[in-house]
Structure 1
Amino acid sequence: MRFRNFSIKTKIAMLSFIALFLALLFSGISIYAYMYGILSQIVVKDNTVIVANLGQQIHYFLDYSKQFAKNIIIDEKIQEALRIKDSHSMNEYDYYTNIRKIDEQLSMYFALRDNVIDDIYIIGSNNRIISNKYSGFSGNSDWYSEFARAEQASGFTAVHFSVGPSHPNSVSKVISYIITIHDKYNPERVLGKLVIDLKYEVLEEIFQQKMGSMNELHLIRPDQMIYTSAAGKDVHGLLTDLRELAPGTLLKDGRHFIVQRIAGADWTLVGSITEHTINAEIRNIGFRFMLILCICMPVLMLLMFPVVNKVTRPIMQLNRAMKEVSMGKLDKEIHIRSGDEIELLANGFNSMVRDIKRSMDESKLKEQKERQLELQLLMKQINPHFIYNTLNCVIYLARQTGADDIITLTRSFIMILQQTIKMQPDEMVTIREEITYIQNYVDILHYRYEEKVEFMLDVDPSLMLCKIPRMILYPLVENSIFHGILPGKGKGTLSLAIRRDQDMMHIEVADNGIGISPERMADIQKMLTRDISESIDHIGLHHVNQRLRIHFGEHCALQIESNSANRTRVSFTLPLELETM
């Protein structure tokens, strides 16, 4: 099967899959081969940084303990108490009072660092504790004997167990820091030794937070494994192997060792990571890189742009044709030979356009008939409330004594009824006839509202024989009087102007009444476009607007301008149509 016979969906899917597969395959293989050695070095280097940071943190922990111990041994109260203790003239009461002073001072220091320190006490020259009654110290302890044999002025001991004041009923794992106390006024004189038991669990927490990707971490002394993450291994054999390692980074038996000496202590920090772990790290980096490539698929899609452009070109052609048809060009046809669904769509489009054109021709005749029926309906729905107003005027004048006014009023009323009864929905009358009808209507209103309304005519004499739809002006005049002038307090002026504008005539009904607020104007504009059944107020305006739109088109619809403190103008424009004799 040829490529042109595939659907557009299949074409794009096949090209996308092939391009993406090849890009990922070749880029993955090339990057993995090139970056393997580099990534291996990066993994080792990252773990070297972790070991260095861990060593720095351990050094800080030890150095801070040393500085803390130095501050204690130069404390004036402790120095004075130790000097008095060695005095041969001191009685037993003074001796124990002096010991209590030492305990109180050490307790104060203990409270400052109880999160790190397990116990603080002082050992006299006879290897007996002279402070802190809770300590389980013994001068024969292995860890203390080892320190004493080394004849050091200060240093850290091996890991051992101790009973401290924070938990007198249990044994805790600690590392002790011992420093000799010299009389600061006589440095040759030794007053004792200060022992600070550091909590081993603090050291464990440091290691647990700093493992990184390493398989094992060890902290060793020359004769003891201080800490190891390799649970279950032969500690003695492991210690022997680790002691032989020189500081730095080296590869041995498929394992990378990172060795660092801890400054200020005879301790060595050793981290190790296997080749298998490094390969796993590299694979993980590779997977993340491939994920990034998948997320960056828009870049790869650029490789398929020429093919996509070829596939979408018929779609664009069809789109342009649809826009032309929507603008009224129903003779438009397109010719696409792509061999897929787009060609079928184009053929269906051509058939649809022909059907639309035929349907529009058929609907024109139907629309003409419907327009006639709609005009008849609109004319029948004109609100006849002016008749009731006229009758009210007659009743009002009948109560008066002026019979001549009643005769005149009734005669005008009869003329209006005659014009209304003989009216046909689509009948056209001259402007002269329409003005006569309006004048009779205004004369009737003068009797009811006396001098409330002043009516002014401004009509181009050459337009008197031009035709307009019958009763097209009455609803506008009535609306200006009852909604514009009468609600006001003073006398109002109603004007009707008809002027020539080239081959059109401009008709305007204006008043200087109360005007229309912006909110009310918005409601009227919406009302003009609604169905008849939806609007009750200003139905006359609605009917006039509908008649103008149906008979002459949208460009002849009503235009309303007003504000709450000025004139209100309702206007429209009609083509000139002279009466034929």
Structure 2
Amino acid sequence: MRKVFTTTRIQLIISMMVSVLIPTILINLFYYQQLNKSTRTQLLSYQKEIVQQSADDVQSLVDQINVTTRQLIAMSVSSDMYKNYNEKTPSEKLSTVKSLQRMMQSIVFSVSYHAGTYYIGTDNSIFSNLNTLNADRLLHRIGEEENGVPFDADYYSNVVSVRVIPFLTDIQNYNRYNALQTIGIDLQYSDLENIFAEKYNPGEMEFFIINDANKLIYYLSDSDYQWEQTIGKEVSGAQYSYLSNFDSREKEQIYNYISGPGWNVYAYIHLDALTADFSAQNRSLALILLITLFFAVIFSCFVSKSITRPINDLITKMKKIGEADKSTPAVVTRNRDIMVLSYTFDDMLVQIDKLNQITIEKEKEKTSMQLRALQAQINPHFLYNTLEDIRSIALEYGVISISEMTKALAKIFRYCISKENIVTVREEINHIKNYAQIQHYRYGDRLSIMYYVDDAIMNCRIVKFILQPMIENAISHGIEPKRGKGVITIIGSKKQREIEFRIIDNGMGMTSEQIERINEDLTDKREPSKGIGLINVDMRLKLHYGEKYGIIVESHLGEGTQVTVRMPYTEEVLDDKSSDIR
């Protein structure tokens, strides 16, 4: 996959634009959300006020009809003009009718919502405030009318029917002379429509009036249901389900009850439609984002240039120095970090020159040391050959002790000058035995060294000169100051994937303070005051095998000392990491 490279300036421009745009977008979105929420709440409150006002207007309309009805009842009860109405002559009846019409006209004169007002007598005689009322048609529809339910009345005109809502009230027979039985007031259906139509916003709300008998009185809706065909009839199951089951996240229902006719007014406000037209706010938000983007680009380009220009100058300087041109001037800028980088680069060049000089001197010194080393290789062989000559002379004169010591010393010397840094356990033990043989000539019966090394580890590869310094320390600091016979025990064993050597002596031992000081010396890698070579062995073990390996010193004053050496079990040849120790 091909890598896509970019520049610091582009990265700075992008980062600064993002750092500016993201907060701006978040702030604008938060503002837009809060504004949307606030506007939606205000619009919903306004719509609720509209619905409540519409319900109040309908209730006021019904209350006025009830007031008019009570006035007409009071007039009919208190008046004597209807007494013995059937016994009157035609002229007297006509006079009574005209008097009744004048009284009714005077009452309903100022009421504009009445389609008509009428009395129905016990003999089916009709008294109305309208001279054009068709009494025969009215009497024919008397049985079809239902109080508070709209229907199309054909008794007001010979041409078209008029949709009205009748309000019928029966008059009690207070005495046998009362000729009236029913008062009827027809509400013009258009007046009910006008109340809601002037406040109706298509798509935002719906109005429904349903009476207690579940019959549809009025509707104002743009839904697909056949509401017009249901006027005055019982609401169907599907229509009732539409009214009853609504999602509160999409609609809010407002309910009012109109006392008197028992009307239930339902208003449904479509919440999504309230905030559907936010085009002006959207344009303002888009304009703010565009302006922010424009200034963010300009600002980012300006700032990035002021940052990247000295960086480019510094890169140009590095390239020239790479071409061996060291005469380039220093980078000048007001950016403190860039100036520090430039000064640091100049200091680095000075240090590089110094290191180059040191390297040249070391190469010269290395060449000289290699020559001296080649020359010094002659000396060990000369000393080894000299020891062999001494041994031969000792044998010739029968001095066996000198011969054996010289032989052991020659083996030790050969072991020391060998170039191998990794040896077997067997070779290390043999080296210790040669060293012990020489010490026996010195200490005699005062020193005894015992070996308990498992055969399973004799061919394992270990670092050279690990055990001999432990034996030397045991003799020098433990056995030699002690009175009586000294015993050194060497125990070698395998534990899982590790080799463990324990060198135990019955020498003088050490106090807890001395042990603590030795352990501190080992931790700080300082040569301890007692136990010369301990730090050397511990460091070489850690260099070869890792920090988890090394030596542990334990001792009790007057009882002796135990040194434990741990290293990994391996029969393979290890990398010579200490080739300089020879």
**TM-score of the superposed pair, with normalisation by structure 1:** 0.39
Which structure has the bigger radius of gyration? 2
